[in-house]
Amino acid sequence: MTVPTQRIELRSFGKGGIHPQTRKRDTASSPIEPMVPLPSEVWLPLIQHLGEPATPLVKKGDRVIRGQKIADGGATGSPLHATISGKVKPIDKRPHPTLVTVPSIIIARDGDAEEEFPEDPAWRETPHAEMLARIRDAGIVGLGGAAFPTYRKLTLPPGVNVDTFILNGAECEPFLTSDYRLMLEEPEAIVEGALAMARLLGVKRVLVGVEADKMPAVESLRTAARSVPLGEQTFEVVPCEVRYPQGAERQLVTSLTGRTIPPRSLPSAVGVLVQNVATAHAVYHALRYRRPLLDRVMTVTGPGVLQPRNLRVPVGTLLQTLVDACGGMRVDTTRLIAGGPMMGRALPRLDLPVIKGMNGLLLLTGRGPLEEGFGPCIQCGRCLDACPLGLEPDQVSVHIEAGRTLDTDPFGPLDCYECGCCTYVCPSGRPLLQFMQVAKSALRRATDIRVKT
């Protein structure tokens, strides 16, 4: 990671945010390496996207090859593909990183065969409906973490227009470098994928937000953009202030365009559509080669792992296999997190599969913040200053402690996108993000009940 040596004006958002240590040094210079050998088994949950669960097209005992479609996405979901070649085991419930257990297709590897994906030389002229179909058939979902099917995000509702396509290369979460390495190593695919999605939307302006501690990635994308035909489109890579959560959609839209997304609205409300760099990379391969999403680049890092690395792994690979490929885990590892330390999800175990929306595995040592307990609110106001949305997590927390959870609505829990800035700055160690989650779910339940009665 490098910071710019000459003074350049860095774009940023207005309110809130924090400056945690980026901790990316362990893997920033680790090239993306393939998983060798491929895992002996993968678990492919039928739910790893937003939308209806996928429906299996295979059964126990079937032989499948890598790249073969094995589950249909239905009207709102996303299909699944075999990520290794082998035999299908019984389709049953297996542990899932976010949903406890989910019906999953298990494949035991018995070879290295792979479907062929010949190039479509005229791919840039693909009609829009066919582009959407290829993206849908490839099983691509938002790879920045949301896992919303990409073909749905690219299908704008009637009356909604966008004039700006934003490519999110901020990767503001500490520790993670998978997007950074992809921008350095395969920038042409990212640029082409972004331009293609913008063409699909009829958008001429493409902006890319990259935090300024990743200037090699800025240069890499700029160089790549000079080698692809732009036509009437523009492609601008914009260095942004290193400030968490720069990569949150709301913040990045403001940083790059000066526009403010209204509460509980999508970026399209201000004429913008945002996609992550890894999604653009997958879209390029789907359009040019009809290649489905089979692999994810994962940063495996943190003080608990012996050899931090960036690995390209088949979706469905067990996390234990990743840790083994990185030399194993230190005995004093205390916490496992899918993703980064700010917005990642704590995991209870390593016999869980990599799912499409996952971009890192973090192994931490030492005591977690909540194990120390927490004190009363001393009304210092730091959480108010840190919240990028201007919410009041202090008020939410004291109302919950007083047993008035349903009175927290005016303080914003339903708008909270769980960035964790408030928890990070609180001198009393109060778990403010968790208080926001409790309030949000109680308010949502209460609203459901009121609607039903």
Tokens 């909604």 locate to 160
Residue 290 engages ligand SF4 in binding (rule: CB under 6 A): no
Q: Which stretch binds ligand SF4 (CB under 6 A): 169-177, 300-308, 331-339, 416-424?
A: 416-424
Distances (CA, A) of 125 to 149, 156, 312: 23, 21, 30
CB of 434 to ligand SF4, least distance (A): 9
Under DSSP, the state recorded for 239 is: E
CB of 89 to ligand SF4, least distance (A): 40
Q: What is the rounded CA–CA span in Å between residue 273 and residue 78?
A: 20
- List, as one string, the DSSP characters of 232-252: T-EEEEEEE---BTTTSHHHH
Q: Tell me, by CB under 6 A, how many residues bind ligand SF4.
A: 29
Pair of tokens at residue 82: 């075999």
Shortest spacing between CB 258 and ligand SF4, in angstroms = 21
Is there binding between residue 343 and ligand SF4 (CB under 6 A)? no
Cβ-based nearer residue to ligand SF4, 333 or 428: 428
DSSP 3-state assignment of 378?
coil
Of residues 78 and 397, the one with the C-beta less far from ligand SF4: 397
From 58, 135, 212, 422, residue interacting with ligand SF4 (rule: CB under 6 A): 422
SS3 assignment, position 345: strand
Residues 344-403 that bind ligand SF4 (CB under 6 A): 377-383, 386-387, 389, 391, 393-394, 397
Given a contact cutoff of 8 angstroms between Cβ atoms, the answer to whether 416 and 391 are in contact is yes
Helix-, strand-, coil-residue percentages of the chain, each rounded to 5: 30, 25, 45
Nearest residue (CB) to ligand SF4, 292 versus 420: 420
**Binding flag, residue 18, ligand SF4 (CB under 6 A):** no
Distance between CA atoms of residues 293 and 54, nearest Å: 15
Angle value at C-alpha 417, between 413 and 422, nearest 5 degrees: 75
Q: In the range 300-329, which residues lie near ligand SF4 by CB under 6 A?
A: none
State which H helix or E strand residue 107 sits in. strand 100-111
Stretch of residues binding ligand SF4 (CB under 6 A), selected from 62-70, 143-151, 216-224, 432-440: 432-440
For position 428 contacting ligand SF4 by CB under 6 A, the verdict is: yes
| Out of 293, 432, 439, 440, the residue judged to bind ligand SF4 by CB under 6 A | 432
Task: By CB under 6 A, tell whether 420 contacts ligand SF4.
Answer: yes
Q: Which is nearer to ligand SF4, 325 or 387 (CB)?
A: 387
Task: Report which of 130, 291, 275 is spatially closest to residue 195, judged by C-alpha positions.
Answer: 275
Residue 337 C-beta: closest distance to ligand SF4, Å: 16
Stretch that binds ligand SF4, among 161-169, 197-205, 206-214, 430-438 (CB under 6 A): 430-438
Interacting span for ligand SF4 (CB under 6 A) from 30-38, 281-289, 307-315, 411-419: 411-419
The residue type of 444 is: R
Determine phi and psi for 156, rounding to 5 degrees.
-75, 140
Contact indicator for 68, 350 with CB cutoff of 8 Å: no
Q: In the numeric block, which tokens belong to residue 109?
A: 């590897």
Tokens 């980064």: give the residue.
Answer: 340
Task: Return residues touching ligand SF4 (CB under 6 A).
Answer: 377-383, 386-387, 389, 391, 393-394, 397, 416-422, 425-428, 430, 432-433, 436
